[in-house]
Homo-oligomer: A and B are copies of this chain.
C-alpha cells in the first residue's frame, strides 16, 4: 500500500521460562511467516541431537564467545546453567533497518538486555499452562541430568515474575493456538498508530 512509510521492521522478542516451548512455537511461526527473519543465536552449549551449526545455533567455544562479548558483537548475552547464549547484533540491525521484521527467541536474562537497547521491540512472554506441565516438559526433554532439571525449574519459577516487563503474554496450551496468537500480535503491532506515526511522514491521500 505504501500509505505509511515504514522505515524500520519490528523486533519481535519471544521469551519466557525454560520449558515454555519457545523453540517449538517459534519453529512453527517461522513456517507460517517465512518473511520473518529469524535471528540465530550463538552458544557455548554442546549441540543437541539433530541441531545444526548456523541453523539452530552458532556453536562457539568459551574463548570465542568471550571475544564476541569484548568486541560488542552481541545484542544480548547471558550465562545460563553454565553456558553462554547470545544474539549476534549485525544481522538483526541490518534487517530491521531494511524494514524487515526480526524474531529473537531468547532467554529471559537476554530479553532484559534487549529491552534496554530496543524499548520499541515487541516483547512476548510465552508461558506453559501450569507449573506441573512445565516440570513435565523439562523432564521429558530427557537430555539433562536431574540436577539440571531442578535448576531449570527453579529458574523458571523465578523467571515467571518477569511477566510484567513484557507487552504480551501468550499461554502455550497448544502450539498451533500459541502460534496463531503470535501471528495476531505481529499483525496488530503493524497497525499501531504510535508505530506508524513515530517520526514518519504520513503520505496518506496520494
Contacts and interface: CB of A to CB of B under 8 A. Distances in A.
A189 B188 CA distance: 9
Residue among A171, A183, A204 facing the most chain B CB atoms (10 A cut-off): A204
B168 A204 contact: no
A55 interface: no
Interface stretch (A30-38, A46-54, A96-104, A125-133): A125-133
Interface stretch (A61-69, A106-114, A143-151, A191-199): A191-199
Residue from A125, A180, A191, A196 whose CB has the most chain B CB atoms within 10 Å = A191
Nearest to A133: B205
B205 A130 contact: yes
A87 to B, nearest CB: 22
Given A127-B204, A130-B206, A206-B130, A168 B184 contact: no
A95 interface: no
Q: Number of copies of this chain in the oligomer?
A: 2
Contacts of A185: 184, 187-188, 191
A188 B168 contact: yes
Interface of A: 1, 3, 124-125, 127, 129-131, 160, 163-164, 166-171, 173, 180-181, 183-185, 187-189, 191-193, 196-197, 202, 204-206
Given A131-B204, A184-B187, 14 more contacts: A1-B171, A1-B173, A130-B205, A130-B206, A131-B205, A164-B193, A167-B192, A168-B192, A168-B193, A169-B191, A169-B196, A170-B191, A183-B184, A184-B184
